[in-house]
Amino acid sequence: MNTADPLSIHLVLDHATLLTMDDGRPGPLAGARQGELGRVDGGAIAVAGGRITAVGPRDEVWRFVEARNERTDAVDVLDAAGRVVLPGLVDAHTHLVWAGTRADEFEARLTGTSYLDLLANGGGIHATVRATRAASFDDLAARMTARLDALVDHGVTTVEVKTGYGLTVDEEMRHLDVIAAAAAAHPAHVVPTFLGAHALPGAYAGEPTPDRGAFVRAVIDMLPRVAAHPLGLNGPLFCDVFCDAGAFDVAETRAVLTAAKAAGLGLKVHSDEFENLGATALAAELGATSADHLVATTPAEMAALAKSGTVAVLLPLTTIGLGSTHFADGAAFVRHGAPVALASDWNPGTAPCPNLWLALAIGTRYGRLSVAEALVAVTRNAACAVGRDGVAGRLAVGRSADAVLTDSDDPRDLAYGFGTNRAVRVMLGGRWVR
């Protein structure tokens, strides 16, 4: 058992089946260790000042509480018998700042129009860009807040949120401001990402020759303002690029990410969702924190991610959303030693879904992850994928008391049953938010 913190304990979660995800060592879990859950049967967690002050076998935790508190009858006790308790889930990839709907495109895709065709014809991301630019600041902040509420309701306590439906310096900065305002007023921990290179805006896609270079230079010119944004003061601030067919090529991606690195931003990349252009090898070369999607990634690139420690963020809800059967092969990433995370990719085009439990269930069946590997993928490894290792993704002393009480006493059941919300109670910073 680990203990710390002089404050009086006000809350104990008792009799829980704890999956701590903690071994005291930093970094993600990979390869043969990807599925190490740090399980404690008959466990307890003591909370003071919003943080975990003791966690482990319940008799040890209670001895600590009795030594620390003058009166233990003032402690709020929640009996978690029959419940698996996890660290608050981490959703490592979302696009929550948007207005409008793409239900019309969904219907068109059902009758055979492809996602990349819609994008090429001014739909897709461009449709959402038009609706989002037209929305007021307060409207966008309210929409993001409602989406954070839905994620927290599903047990997510740390959320990565990308811009990318602005695509001009003023709009992208406005969307960073939306993220800052919504995050400041919400209990969830928000990790911001600048995705200025999400799609080539129509103004740069003119005939006969699109001026792609001008837009890439415009994005690079935005980076000093992004890096100076107040969002970067309290934690990591990332830069992401959508490198794929119909979006940006690997040379353009390299130009943006290299400049972002020089500006002090963390790096992420949308890679291999539709076609393999080489962005995953680039992510490994540049030491990116994560590479995301990875449906068309080669074994050599998986090994490169393992070597660079870049987290492979797999997004099976997107594959479902596209009506595709071509899923990222989670088991192959594990076999090659790359740390694997699972995220929702919640966005209006390909994954309008806040349910990370469903990503977990699909990640086991079609990503061929074991249940334990998938549980690590939505907690510890997801925290590493957003630069929050040491802060989120584990039940460990000194961390924010973020935890999920599930509706089951068997970890396997959390992926076996699917389609529902498995979170019964959710704690964020030591307070019940569900």
Task: Write out the residues near Zn ion by the rule CB under 5 A.
Answer: 345
Cβ-proximal residue to Zn ion, closest one: 345
For 249, phi then psi, to 5°, come to: -85, 180
CA distance 401 to 86: 11
- Name the minimum Å distance from CB 278 to Zn ion: 19
Q: Name which of 45 and 267 has its Cβ closer to Zn ion.
A: 267
Rg (CA), the chain: 21
What is the DSSP annotation of 404-418?
EEES-S-TTHHHHS-
CA distance 92 to 384: 9
- Name the minimum Å distance from CB 303 to Zn ion: 24
Q: Name which of 279 and 371 has its Cβ closer to Zn ion.
A: 279
Burial 157-178 (b: 16+ CB within 10 A, else e): bbbbbbbbbbbbeebbbbbbbb
- Name the minimum Å distance from CB 122 to Zn ion: 20
- Name the minimum Å distance from CB 75 to Zn ion: 43
- Name the minimum Å distance from CB 352 to Zn ion: 13
- Name the minimum Å distance from CB 198 to Zn ion: 8
- Name the minimum Å distance from CB 173 to Zn ion: 20
**Beta strand 39-48 with 290-293: parallel, antiparallel or unpaired?**
unpaired
- Which residues 6+ apart lie within 8 Å of 146 measured at CB? none
- Find how far residue 302's CA is from the centre of its chain: 20
Q: Name which of 98 and 333 has its Cβ closer to Zn ion.
A: 98
What is the DSSP annotation of 305-325?
HHHHT-EEEE-HHHHHHTT--
Q: Name which of 105 and 345 has its Cβ closer to Zn ion.
A: 345
- Name the minimum Å distance from CB 3 to Zn ion: 40
Nearest to 22 by CA among 43, 47, 48: 43
Q: Name which of 14 and 345 has its Cβ closer to Zn ion.
A: 345
- Name the minimum Å distance from CB 322 to Zn ion: 12
What DSSP element (H or E) covers 171?
helix 169-184
Q: Name which of 64 and 327 has its Cβ closer to Zn ion.
A: 327
Q: Name which of 13 and 343 has its Cβ closer to Zn ion.
A: 343
Under 8 Å between Cβ of 327 and 369:
no
Instruction: Write down the residue that tokens 């030693």 correspond to.
Output: 337
Under 8 Å between Cβ of 270 and 245:
no
CA distance 246 to 199: 8
Put residue 424 in one of left, alpha, beta given phi > 0 → left and psi -120 to 50 → alpha: alpha
Q: Name which of 267 and 396 has its Cβ closer to Zn ion.
A: 267
Q: Name which of 291 and 401 has its Cβ closer to Zn ion.
A: 291
